Amino acid sequence: MDTFERQNARMFSALRAAPLPENLLKDVLAHVDQAARKQARFRAVCFGLGSLASSFFAVPAVMYTAYEMGQTGFLQFLSLVWSDGGVLLLSWKEFSLTLLESFPVVGMTLALLAIFVALSALRLTVYYARHMSGVLDHPRFTRFVI
């Protein structure tokens, strides 16, 4: 054992543990639970507002997609499948290219993106709203409860 270790052993052997209050663990866990609930409440409100905002943005995006489908003639081309299906089988390559060219890519992308964001935010809102209560019921905390 070198001198440094001997000095540290002598210095730390004289230290005594400070007495801890009886309910320190309960107080600390209560504070952790309170902070977790506050964070869950904040996240639930933020994601709820995000879900509401993206739902409002989804409506014009879907309307724009419907308008774009009418302008490009996509619905008219698509209706040919049911009315003249036999003729389309003969020239299916040309029909599929025409259908692809008239597909409203921008409008559909905007609409699907807005719907995806709205549903994702709604999912997270429900998750955090459920977890606002009973944070200490999690198995990670139950082993510490006295």
> Is residue 67, in this structure, part of any structural domain at all?
yes
**pLDDT, tens only, 99-112:** 888 888 999 999 99
Amino acid 146: pLDDT: 41
**Residue 63: inside a domain:** yes
- Give the count of domains, the chain: 1
pLDDT at 17 over 90: no
* Range(s) of the domain holding residue 65: 23-142
Cα–Cα distance for residue pair 103/20, rounded to 1 Å: 71
Distance CA 21, CA 114 (A): 53
SS3 84: coil
9 within some domain = no
Q: What is the mean pLDDT of residues 49-56?
A: 93
Average per-residue pLDDT for the chain: 83
Identify which of 62-66, 76-80, 84-88, 91-95 has the greatest average pLDDT. Answer: 62-66
What is the structure's pLDDT at 117? 94
| Mean pLDDT score, 44-52 | 92
Residue 79 has pLDDT above 90, yes or no: no
**Distance from C-alpha of 15 to C-alpha of 56, rounded to nearest angstrom:** 64
Query: Above 80 in pLDDT, residue 15?
Result: no
Please tell me the distance from the alpha carbon of residue 85 to that of residue 34, in angstroms, as a whole number: 64
Pick from 56, 62, 59, 102: nearest CA to 79: 102
- Tallying the residues shown for the chain, one arrives at 146
Q: How high is the pLDDT of residue 1? A: 54
Tell whether 17 is covered by a domain. no
Q: Could you write out the DSSP letters of every residue in 92-111?
A: HHHHHHHHHHHS-HHHHHHH
Q: In this structure, is residue 99 part of a structural domain?
A: yes
Note the pLDDT of residue 46.
92
Q: Is 5 part of any domain?
A: no
